[in-house]
């Protein structure tokens, strides 16, 4: 997507420097900074410290991390260490393990002398695939938006609500939840997006930045406003992303997603999850019982980052010094609260049968474990 008129992906390979370039998201939406990743520790810190974030982008970044490791030393021992180091950066997004396993498997079947080239080609492939998956999710989501638009008076915008940032900068391009929004807007279908702030890290500000850059009408709202808006008929559809979805359709996503799904159910508002297949964890069935929830640093809650009056980027404390804090970063929305899953292969029920219908080859492997 474009930033100030220039097309970007959220990461790209610089051939001349032989290094990965990323958009360092810690400074968005106030400052657009590009960072070069040159060492394995750069890659680990970029994922751990959320310079890159969002499940698909974490996976693609890790693939380039494995490519770097293979270039430095293609031995099994080094690749195993790189796998561990990258895997230990963040626990929730299953795309991380998916990408790392895909690289490890491919490299095991490759001679030592060819590993560096094969690993880099694979990282490019994973990044390109992510773009295509998200484009397709957008097209399937667009069909749902069109159906909703057809029920409304001509020209009235379809009002969507989203939580966190499942936008192009959380992926390589297009985004997951935002892809149907971009497709709808580009097709001339009027939409308006309610953007949840998404405390504690306010990823909603990233979504607002993205939508604003693309000219999509939107309003930034506090996390507590969604239920009220739904109760008053001001939301036609919710679309969120996911960091890990079980084979039975339970969705782990940014903290607060579950509350939005409860409010949507109570108000008869369709609630969809944009789900790229690498985000499905086929090894897990009951999301609430089986997915460990990442507990993040207390400062994320006690402090807020923003643009200060002098133009610098800074943090302010919002609680009394020393206040004890709880900060679960994700929650699980049970499949029964969801209207459907929008995948690259189409839309399905949030259920084991629904996912198995679209991905029979994966479901068969999972049941044969
Ligand atoms: O903690 P983050 O910012 O990496 O988490 C990202 C999310 O939770 C998003 O909501 C998103 O839906 C999943 S990635 C497309």
266 counts as catalytic: no
Residue 337 pLDDT > 90, yes or no?
yes
**For residues 248-255, average pLDDT:** 98
pLDDT band at 55 (very low <50, low <70, confident <90, very high): very high
Ligand 1, atom 6: nearest CA belongs to which residue?
54
Higher per-residue pLDDT: 4 or 352 = 352
Residue 113 pLDDT > 80, yes or no?
yes
What is the Å distance from ligand 1's center to 116 Cα? 30
pTM recorded for the entire structure: 0.97
Active-site residue identified among 196, 243, 281, 331:
243
What is the Å distance from ligand 1's center to 150 Cα? 31
Q: 90 CB contacts (<8 Å, ≥6 apart)?
A: 47, 48, 58, 96, 294
pLDDT band at 361 (very low <50, low <70, confident <90, very high): very high
Give 259-308 pLDDT, tens digit per residue: 999 999 999 999 999 999 999 999 999 999 999 999 999 999 999 999 99
**Does residue 176 line the site of ligand 1, with CB under 6 A?**
yes
**Does residue 54 line the site of ligand 1, with CB under 6 A?**
yes
Domains of the chain, start order: 2-128 (1.20.120.420), 135-366 (3.40.50.10470)
Give 63-76 pLDDT, tens digit per residue: 999 999 999 999 99
**For residues 111-120, average pLDDT:** 98
What is the Å distance from ligand 1's center to 244 Cα? 10
pLDDT score at 367: 73
Q: 222 CB contacts (<8 Å, ≥6 apart)?
A: 196, 197
pLDDT score at 369: 55
DSSP string, 173-209: SS-STTHHHHHHHHTT--EEEEEE--TTTTTHHHHHH
**Does residue 243 line the site of ligand 1, with CB under 6 A?**
yes
pLDDT band at 5 (very low <50, low <70, confident <90, very high): confident
**For residues 216-237, average pLDDT:** 98
**Does residue 242 line the site of ligand 1, with CB under 6 A?**
yes
pLDDT score at 368: 65
Ligand 1 atom nearest 243 alpha carbon: 13
Ligand 1, atom 5: nearest CA belongs to which residue?
54
pLDDT score at 4: 86
What is the Å distance from ligand 1's center to 242 Cα? 6
What is the Å distance from ligand 1's center to 127 Cα? 17
- The mean of the pLDDT values for the chain is 97
Determine the residue of 10, 28, 55 to mutate for testing ligand 1's pocket, defined as the one with the most ligand atoms within 8 A of the Cβ atom. 55
C-alpha distance from residue 355 to each of 8, 250, 275, 337 (Å):
32, 11, 11, 16
Q: 125 CB contacts (<8 Å, ≥6 apart)?
A: none
What is the Å distance from ligand 1's center to 43 Cα? 18
**Does residue 164 line the site of ligand 1, with CB under 6 A?**
yes
Percentage of the chain surpassing pLDDT 70? 99
Determine the residue of 203, 207, 210, 245 to mutate for testing ligand 1's pocket, defined as the one with the most ligand atoms within 8 A of the Cβ atom. 203
**For residues 112-133, average pLDDT:** 98
In residues, how long is the chain? 369
Measure the CA–CA gap between 114 and 7, rounded to whole angstroms: 33
Residue 343 pLDDT > 90, yes or no?
yes
Determine the residue of 253, 259, 291 to mutate for testing ligand 1's pocket, defined as the one with the most ligand atoms within 8 A of the Cβ atom. 253
**For residues 83-87, average pLDDT:** 98
Percentage of the chain surpassing pLDDT 90? 97
Give 136-157 pLDDT, tens digit per residue: 999 999 999 999 999 999 999 9
C-alpha distance from residue 201 to each of 5, 22, 164 (Å):
27, 20, 9
Ligand 1 atom nearest 171 alpha carbon: 15
Ligand 1, atom 15: nearest CA belongs to which residue?
166
Q: How many other C-beta atoms are found inside a 10 Å radius of the C-beta of residue 109? A: 7
Give 154-175 pLDDT, tens digit per residue: 999 999 999 999 999 999 999 9
């Amino acid at each position: 997507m474009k930033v100030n008129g220039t097309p970007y992906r959220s990461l790209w390979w610089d051939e001349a420097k032989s290094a990965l370039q990323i958009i360092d998201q810690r400074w968005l939406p106030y400052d657009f900074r590009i960072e070069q990743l040159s060492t394995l520790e750069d890659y680990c810190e970029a994922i751990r410290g959320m310079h890159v974030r969002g499940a698909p982008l974490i996976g693609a970044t890790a693939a380039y991390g494995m490519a770097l490791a293979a270039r430095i030393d293609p031995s099994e021992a080094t690749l195993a260490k790189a796998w561990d180091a990258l895997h230990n950066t963040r626990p929730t997004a299953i795309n991380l393990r998916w990408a790392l396993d895909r690289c490890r498997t491919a490299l095991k079947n490759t001679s030592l002398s060819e590993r560096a080239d094969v690993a880099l080609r694979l990282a490019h492939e994973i990044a390109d695939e992510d773009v295509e998956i998200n484009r397709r999710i957008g097209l399937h989501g667009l069909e749902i938006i069109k159906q909703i638009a057809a029920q409304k008076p001509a020209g009235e915008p379809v009002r969507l609500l989203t939580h966190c940032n499942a936008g192009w900068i959380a992926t390589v391009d297009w985004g997951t939840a935002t892809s149907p929004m971009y497709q709808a807007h580009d097709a001339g279908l009027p939409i308006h997006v309610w953007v949840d702030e998404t405390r504690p890290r306010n990823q909603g500000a990233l979504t607002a930045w993205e939508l604003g850059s693309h000219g999509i009408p939107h309003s930034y709202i506090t996390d507590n406003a969604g239920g009220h808006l739904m109760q008053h008929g001001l939301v036609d559809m919710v679309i969120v992303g996911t960091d890990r979805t079980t084979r039975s359709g339970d969705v782990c996503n940014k903290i607060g997603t579950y509350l939005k799904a409860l409010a949507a159910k109570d108000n008869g508002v369709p609630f969809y999850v944009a789900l790229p297949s690498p985000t499905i964890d086929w090894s897990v069935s009951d999301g609430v019982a089986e997915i460990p929830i990442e507990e993040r640093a207390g400062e994320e809650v006690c402090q807020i980052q923003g643009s200060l009056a002098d133009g610098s980027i800074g943090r302010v404390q919002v609680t009394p010094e020393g206040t004890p804090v709880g900060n679960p970063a994700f929650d699980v929305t049970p499949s029964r609260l969801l209207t459907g899953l929008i995948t690259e292969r189409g839309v399905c029920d949030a259920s084991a049968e629904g996912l198995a219908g679209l991905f029979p080859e994966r479901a068969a492997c999972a049941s044969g474990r």
